[in-house]
Chains A and B, each alone.
Chain A
Amino acid sequence: MKKKKAAGYGRQLTFWQKVYKYRVLLLMCLPAIIFFLIFSYIPMPGAYIAFTNFNYAKGIFRSQFIGLDNFKFLFTSGKITMLTRNTLLYNLAFILFGNTLQIFVAILLNEIRSKYFKKITQTLMFLPYFISAVLVGLLVYNLLNYDYGFVNSIIKALGKTPVKVYANKYIWPFILVLVNLWQQTGYGSIVYFAAIMGIDAEMVEASRVDGANAFQKIRYIILPSLKPTIIILLLFAMGGILKGNFGLFYNIIGPANSMLFPSTDIIETYVFRTMMNNFNFTQSSAVGLYQSVFGFAVVMLCNWVVKRIDSEYALF
């Protein structure tokens, strides 16, 4: 481009003049643009694989088009229904119990005056957030396995019969929710804690002078002040309600314990196993595409609701 440097203000610049004028800023964005082009945009048309009879040697776009056949089996066998139900219910539980506990912890942290106590407990509550999903799976195994697990060794010490946790599919929804709370609460409570710190101190003082006790302070000052934060965070979380936490489920349940799958298999784990263990690329991608499309619709809906409540917080 050898165009003369566009003379700045007041005049409308053409597209290429703008490109030239802001070439340095554009170049600064270039690595990120290329990154998302390769890792996010180029795979998108590849979702076409879900409509083909995929043949590895021929590649995605030369494989035979077979329409919706890959989806048919998933829907008629009830597989999709089960995966969707599990993913939705787990996320719903994570969001509702998670946020409730986070708010609760944030309110209690706000009552604590000792700086050391606050700092130490906050650090400890953060600990689970810093470890890999692999270690989470291992720690859960330490606690719950039949032969040497900590919980069972306590049960044995009390003279009762140990529990076969890894063979009981009804217990796992509770355990998975608990593990999720264990890992996310310390981190999640920080946002709420910050929101409480942002409450006008004079308002709290004034309520004191008017004779409000500690419960009334929480009920009538703190909780109402948190309402906007709560609504926005909940709605954003709802937007991702179809995206499962693969690491958590895969490391705790494992790829082989199919006895537990009816109550613990989520979309991500199914997609992964179908691809990596069964090499069934088409069925795996069919579920993946279903998730992407359905998930997209949910985000749009949530964003629309956020926009109606407070357009400043809307994503776009």
Chain B
Amino acid sequence: MITVQKNKIKLDKSDIVVKGFAYIFIALFALACLIPFILMVSTSFSTENLIRKSGFALIPKGFTTYAYELVFRNSKQLLGSYVVTIIMTGGGTLLGLFIISMTGYALQRKDFPFRNQISFYIYFTTLFSGGLVPFYLLMTKYLGLKDNYLAVFLPLLMSPWLIILMKNFIKAIPFEITESGKIDGAGDVMIFTKLILPMLKPALATIGLFLALGYWNEWYNSMLFLSASVEYRPLQYHLYKIVNEVVALKNSVAGSNVPVTSLPLETLKMAIAVVATGPIILLYPFVQRYFIAGITIGAVKG
């Protein structure tokens, strides 16, 4: 769009007030959303001494890439964390999408006699749960998944909410398509993969983004199930450790021949935060179009 379309009806005074207020308020709110990020990036490029003297600021103080050099100089652990996170995010998103869309398809088929029972079976898990302790004991004591990446990977594969969202997306596809596939002699698997899946792009983008966010931002299950003996922690848990434990921070740059006392703690934290967060934020613009349409469809009729 090149020019802003002119309203046919003339704007009166109240319109100008409301619109003016809208532009100002939205701009300020968007800015407030952005400022902490600017602060983070600016700090990561600042000189530690100046930060200690006069605090964080929006413009880097004494521009330097020293913190990043430290982060990458001994990058084995960070690289390992990246690999673990990328494999989990990629694998989990694909596998999750596959299972969720398959289930969603079956559950919205009007001719499937078990759809209500299975839907309720899935939905009920949001209403009542055994709580954290039984879950923790199941994973560690009975399934033996302590210090196993599967303990982090598996619980994030799907959620009742994502299955319901997918079901609602597929519902919007006319049943005649399934019907016509049947008449042509296609089986359920064929109908699903050849006819339904190609029509599900917005749904796959939306739910895929939710899954990817879940995996990329995962730190909770890691904190529960991965002990210090796991060398390559998922990225956000790596960040968590570094933020909360000076020891972990020292280890993460150990061997880079920097005396521990002279470590630029504050700027280093921020540099790692930038490195750990960057990719998922950069992903968003590519899926934004589908995503906004996606949550709208899914949320209106839950």
Contact = CB atoms under 8 A, between A and B. Distances in A.
A143 B56 CA distance: 8
A142 B273 CA distance: 12
B102 A115 contact: no
B103 A28 contact: yes
A284 interface: yes
A75 B296 CA distance: 43
Interface in B253-274: 266, 269-270, 273
Given A32-B99, A123-B284, A18 B12 contact: no
B130 A153 contact: no
Nearest to A246: B220
Interface string A39-58: 11111111101000000100
B217 A133 contact: yes
A56 B141 contact: yes
A187 B33 CA distance: 12
A114 B132 contact: no
Contact of B127 (A121, A133, A141, A296): A296
Interface size class of B (residues with CB under 8 A): 35 or more
Interface string A116-131: 0100111111111011
Nearest to B155: A39
A138 B30 contact: no
B27 A31 contact: no
A41 B125 contact: yes
Interface stretch (B75-83, B197-205, B235-243): B235-243
A299 interface: yes
Nearest to B157: A35
A153 B55 CA distance: 5
A134 B236 contact: yes
Contacts of A114: 4
A143 B39 contact: yes
Given A28-B192, A115-B1, A194 B296 contact: yes
Nearest to A45: B130
Interface stretch (A79-87, A168-176, A213-221, A258-266): A213-221
Interface in A108-167: 108-109, 111-115, 117, 120-128, 130-135, 137-139, 141-143, 147-150, 152-153, 156
Contacts, number: 278
B43 A142 contact: yes
Given A35-B157, A148-B266, A284-B133, A121 B14 contact: no
Nearest to A23: B188
Interface residues of A, number: 100
Interface stretch (B62-70, B86-94, B108-116): B108-116
Given A121-B26, A289-B131, A25 B109 contact: yes
A32 to B, nearest CB: 4
A218 B18 contact: yes
Contacts of B219: 132-134, 247
Contacts of A284: 132-133
Contacts of A25: 106, 109, 112, 114, 188
A121 B30 contact: yes
A100 interface: no
B207 interface: no
A101 to B, nearest CB: 9
Interface in B1-33: 1, 4-5, 7, 9, 12-15, 17-19, 21-23, 25-27, 29-33
A111 B22 contact: yes
Contact of A39 (B31, B100, B109, B135): B135
A159 to B, nearest CB: 13
A60 to B, nearest CB: 7
A252 B247 CA distance: 20
14 contacts: A25-B188, A28-B105, A28-B188, A40-B130, A108-B22, A121-B29, A123-B288, A139-B40, A186-B33, A208-B9, A213-B15, A288-B130, A292-B131, A315-B123
Interface of B: 1, 4-5, 7, 9, 12-15, 17-19, 21-23, 25-27, 29-34, 36-37, 39-40, 43, 51-52, 54-58, 99-100, 102-103, 105-107, 109, 112-114, 118, 120-123, 125, 127-138, 141, 154-155, 157-158, 160, 163, 187-189, 192, 213, 216-220, 224, 236-237, 239-240, 243-244, 266, 269-270, 273, 276-277, 280-281, 284-285, 288, 292, 295-296, 299-302
Given A185-B29, A275-B136, 20 more contacts: A28-B188, A29-B102, A31-B102, A32-B163, A39-B155, A41-B125, A43-B134, A43-B138, A47-B131, A59-B141, A109-B26, A117-B23, A126-B288, A132-B218, A143-B39, A148-B266, A153-B56, A187-B295, A191-B295, A313-B301
